[in-house]
Amino acid sequence: MRLPAFLLFLALLFPLTTGANAGWGDIDALLGAERFAGPAGWVTLCTEQRRLCEPPSGAARAGSGARRLGLLDAVNAGVNRAILPESEPPGADVWRLSPARGDCDDYALTKRERLEASGWPPASLRFATLFTEEDEYHLVLLVETDRGTLVLDNRFDEPLPLDDLTRFGYRWIAVEDRDRQGWRLGRDALAVVAAVQARVVPGGVR
């Protein structure tokens, strides 16, 4: 779900139009060496719709000019408004393109498709899983640029720098490989998962 409006201050702290030397963070610096097949829904998606997981083309890092950032803004906000938030039943993990209602993976997949259809370099787009500041499991779309990693998140209508969300409390679990053939764990993933589990008591109440 999107956060209340007052929390959108994150988007104002480090606006995307800052100086050319400003960095937005690098997700690769937060990853370890261990790889795995990927989230269950992603594995099913790649099995049933193989074209969505073929090795991507284009630059691994996109430019960050005003026109490109404007496209990111439009796609992120447009998809956030087009899909009504709806959680899946416990244990379900189905990734869908452009559903009327959906959860975080549906938003992220739809954004990737719309960006690619608009000419965005596919190789610069990667999915990532994380725990939010409220210990909720979540998935977003990462955009690798020449200034660092931006995050397209259904909780925010503005693309946000990776570093901002990390400071806010996002803890990164795993990221899709650039070739879309698997995923890579964050270097602190196991510790993060263990800490979250320790805070959850039977019944799911923290």
Dist CA 80 CA 108 (whole Å)? 10
pLDDT score at 90: 87
- Taking the C-alpha atoms of residue 174 and residue 33, their distance in angstroms, rounded to an integer, is 11
Q: Is the pLDDT of residue 153 over 80?
A: yes
45 vs 6, higher pLDDT: 45
**Secondary structure string (H, E, C) spanning the chain:** CCCCHHHHHHHHHCCCCCCCCCCCCCHHHHEEEEEECCCHHHHHHHHHCHHHHCCCCCCCCECCCHHHHHHHHHHHHHHHHHCEECCCCCCCCCCCCCCCEECHHHHHHHHHHHHHHCCCCHHHEEEEEEECCCCCEEEEEEEEECCEEEEECCCCCCCEEHHHHHHHCCEEEEEECCCCCCEEEECCHHHHHHHHHHHCCCCCCC
Q: Taking all residues of the chain, what is their mean pLDDT, rounded to a whole number?
A: 90
Cα distance between the two ends of the chain: 18
Q: What is the pLDDT of residue 22?
A: 56
CB of 46 within 8 A of CB of 52?
A: yes
Q: Is the pLDDT of residue 10 over 50?
A: no
| pLDDT at res. 202 | 55
Instruction: Please give the residue that has the higher pLDDT: either 165 or 91.
Output: 165
Q: Would you state the pLDDT for residue 143?
A: 98
pLDDT digits (tens, 9 = 90+) for 15-24: 554 443 458 9
Q: Is the pLDDT of residue 162 over 60?
A: yes
Model pLDDT, residue 19:
42
Pairwise CA distance, residues 26 & 54, whole Å: 24
Instruction: Tell which residue, 101, 100, 88, has the closest CA to residue 44.
Output: 88
Of the candidates 42, 153, 152, the residue with the CA atom closest to the CA atom of residue 93: 42
Task: Tell me the per-residue pLDDT of 41-100, one tens digit each, with 9 for 90 and over.
Answer: 999 999 999 999 999 999 999 999 999 999 999 999 999 999 999 999 988 999 999 999
Q: Which two tokens stand for residue 203?
A: 């019944």
Query: What is d(CA 13, CA 61) in angstroms, rounded to the nearest whole number?
Result: 24
Q: From the CB of residue 202, how many other CB atoms can be counted at a distance below 10 Å? A: 5
Domains of the chain: 33-199 (3.10.620.30)
Q: What is the pLDDT of residue 200?
A: 74
Encode pLDDT of 105-130 as tens digits: 999 999 999 999 999 999 999 999 99
Q: What mean pLDDT is predicted for residues 145-160?
A: 97
CB 99 within 8 A of CB 145: no
